[in-house]
Amino acid sequence: MQAYKKLYSEAQQDPEGFWLEQASRLDWFTPPKTAANVRKNGMADWFPDGKVNVSHLALDAQINAGRGDQVALYYDSPVTNTQNHYTYSQLREEVAAFAGALKAQGVNVGDRVVIYLPMIPQAAIAMLACARIGAIHSVVFGGFAAHELAVRIDDAKPKAIVTASCGVEVNKVLEYKPIVDKAIEEATHKPSSVIVHQRPECTAELNNDGDIDWKDAVEKATPAEPVAVPSTHPLYILYTSGTTGKPKGVVRDHGGYATALNFSMSYVYGLKPGDTFFTASDVGWVVGHSYIVYGPLIFGCSTVLYEGKPVNTPDAGAFWRIIEQYKAKAVFSAPTAFRAIKKEDPDGKFLEKYDISSLERIYMAGERLDPATYEWTTELTDKPVYDHWWQTESGWPMCANPVGIEAAKVKPGSSTFPVPGYEISVLDPLGKSVDNGEEGAICVRLPLPPGCLTTVWEDEERLHNSYLKAFPGYYCSGDGGYIDKDGYVFIMGRTDDVINVAGHRLSTGEMEEILASHPAVAECAVVGQPDDLKGELPIGFVILKNAVDITQEQLQDELIQLVRSKIGAIACLKTLHIVPRLPKTRSGKILRRIIRQLVQGNEVSVPSTIDDPTSIDALKQTLS
């Protein structure tokens, strides 16, 4: 791994020179001469003397480089039976027109715009249009409840809201405009306009002051040119859940973010301009911001915007069909998506229908990639599968396999090495580094590299308390794990996913890994339940693969023995429940906190992020 070590060392020894060189690969209005200004809190403002615009980088600069006729965006919607594509030139035309429509509504540099849209091209167009005029967008996941939208409206104080008449979930139409109206009614802050894209599946009534039809607004607008903004100018606010119940508004800039994304497209994903990247996520999440919209376009790739699911739209072959149809070179989704495919089609019958020879690599992130899912996907597809670790706050990968320079040997369960720019440390509760192989809190030495959060929107105190206070001089990720003797980083889960059994700290992530290795198990979760004698005891929940022929008693015996043989009797895993489903967020993460509350008999407030509220009732019934 000499090439990796050399590049990583360059970024460590001369971060200013390293990142200025990376920044020089972009088309700046005013190229930066200063790499970073480090603030008192240890965070950095990147390229403070540079002027740039992300919409210009993603569209105009690509057209100037000769990519005007290349497809920028493929839109694929099995839920509406719609497919479309936009070249870079066509996408710029749409973005410039909508940017002009926003300006006509009085949206200017620094104003906020809340975007509440499903996975349709207008979502990407609205994001890029905001960036074009220097407005700050805040995308809220389409389908979030009115209260959650209202909370974000009050925090961001948008001048305008951009929405659609509806979203489509498999075969259900969800009207958006009534949710938006209810949210505005609840919110203290009132936006001056609501721009609505009408979809054929449902027409929204535009009967409030400030309601505007997207099509009418665009037809009357003068196309807008990109505005040169300082590199440090906020590009977007993206809300992530907070422990206090009030979401945290993660702020990202223009210049540092664009530089980091551009670097990652080559270094992490091994892509070249002109390649097709299929990221199966949602623009409401950070993955959608970074690797559906901004990253691929800034780098000159073709990106796929997919309005569908890994299964049931129409079947477990959906991802393979997309890969074949658009000749995707890399695919990126959460492990839960591949577990869903595994559950529906464990033998890969649907894969046999498609030619995925264009595909070179599969990426997973968003939650821990358990070895069982890694091995199943690798064996089924005969493609390299790479785990990588990052967060809403980082905006781009913190640990990854450096395939863009030289692919490292994969160790299942590990997200491989720290990405250049990130100095990862594993710390004990006193802030001291632990030995190789010993678990602790995963932290990143300050200052963070370009592309990471710059602050929490209008709440510096929360930035400090949430991320900087626990370990002075470090960003605390909230994840726990270890680094092995070869320098591989293993993320074992959130630091609160550790239970204390008779004085022994045990990782529920490790137990889940063992349960998932059983051939009958599609998905699982392990949490701690209070015990008078031992403090806590683990309790497991498993979902079976389809058409599994095994009795509940036999499976329980085998799983308990499996955990005992791998961890030892100390694990004390004696209670297992077979369940039809588990509470998950809409992005597919298992809500272990909810499961813990149910197990402990506490009151559970159903979060707006939950995908299927009935999963909580099913779990209550199992536990009763």
H helix or E strand, kind and range, residue 6: helix 2-13
Cα–Cα distance list, 157 to 188, 266, 308 (Å)? 9, 37, 31
Asked if 389 contacts 489 with a C-beta cutoff of 8 angstroms, the reply is yes
What pLDDT shows up at residue 502?
Answer: 56
Residue 79: the pLDDT is 96
Express each pLDDT in 99-112 by its tens digit. Answer: 999 999 999 999 99
Amino acid (one-letter) located at 121: P
Instruction: Report which of residues 345 and 587 the model is more confident about.
Output: 345
Using the predicted structure, report yes or no on whether residue 530 has a pLDDT greater than 70.
yes
Q: How many other CB atoms sit within 10 Å of the CB of residue 110? A: 12
Q: What angle do CA 236, 240, 245 make, to 5 degrees?
A: 130
Query: Out of 308-322, 433-447, 586-600, which region has the weakest mean confidence (pLDDT)?
Result: 586-600
**Which amino acid, residue 193?**
S
The C-alpha atoms of residue 500 and residue 537 are separated, in whole angstroms, by: 8
Q: Which fold has domain 88-227?
A: Rossmann fold (3.40.50)
β-strand pairing of 276-279 with 166-169: unpaired
Strand partners, 441: 427, 480
**What is the rounded average pLDDT of the residues 20-41?**
98
The span from the CA of 30 to the CA of 228, in Å, is: 9
Domain residue spans in the chain? 88-227, 496-623
Q: Reduce the DSSP state of residue 125 to 3 states and report it.
A: helix
Q: Determine the Cα–Cα distance for residues 295 and 390; give it in Å rounded to an integer.
A: 15
pLDDT (0 to 100) of residue 513: 85
pLDDT in tens, 346-364: 999 999 999 999 999 999 9
* pLDDT (mean) for 479-484: 94
DSSP string, 511-561: HHHHHHTSTTEEEEEEEEEEETTTEEEEEEEEEEPTT----HHHHHHHHHH
Q: Which is more confident, 391 or 569? A: 391
CB atoms within 10 A of CB 610: 17
The DSSP line for 549-595 is ---HHHHHHHHHHHHHHHH-GGG---EEEE-S---BBTTS-B-HHHH
> Is pLDDT at 596 greater than 80 in this prediction?
yes
Written as one letter, the residue type at 43 is M
Residue 346: C-alpha distances to residues 230, 317, 340, 373 (Å): 51, 12, 9, 11
CA distances from 25 to 77, 267, 560 (A): 34, 14, 54
pLDDT number for residue 589? 79
CATH number of 496-623: 3.30.300.30
Would the CATH topology of 88-227 be identical to that of 496-623?
no
Q: Which 3 state secondary structure label does DSSP give 283?
A: coil
pLDDT of amino acid 170: 85
- pLDDT score at 590: 85
Tokens 């206070």 belong to 469
Number of H helices and E strands in the chain, helices first, is 20, 32
pLDDT digits (tens, 9 = 90+) for 155-202: 999 999 999 999 998 889 999 999 999 999 999 999 999 999 999 999
Q: In Å, how far are 386, 413, 424 from 410, measured between CA atoms?
A: 7, 9, 19
Structure tokens at 203: 């027409």
* Strand duo 385-387 + 361-364: pairing: parallel
Mean pLDDT of 401-414: 95
CA distance linking residue 74 with residue 293, whole number of Å: 11
How does pLDDT run across 238-291, given as a tens digit for each residue?
A: 998 654 457 789 999 999 999 999 999 999 999 999 999 999 999 998 999 999
177-181, 305-309, 363-367, 564-568: the lowest-pLDDT one: 564-568
Query: In a 10 Å sphere around its CB, with 0-12 CB exposed, 13-18 middle and 19+ buried, how is residue 462 labelled?
Result: middle
Between 227-236, 465-474, 567-576, the lowest mean confidence (pLDDT) is in 567-576
Q: In sequence order, what are the beta bridge partners of 500?
A: 505
Return mean pLDDT, the chain: 93
Per-residue confidence band for 59, with pLDDT thresholds at 50, 70 and 90 = very high
Residue 128 pLDDT: 98
- The pTM score is 0.86
Type and span of the H or E element at 52: strand 51-52
| Rounded-to-integer distance, Cα 562 and Cα 514, Å | 7
Tell the residue number behind the tokens 């009795």, with chain if given: 551
Q: CA triplet 186, 189, 193: central angle to 5 degrees?
A: 100
Q: What is the pLDDT of residue 613?
A: 83
Which residue has tokens 């800034």? 298
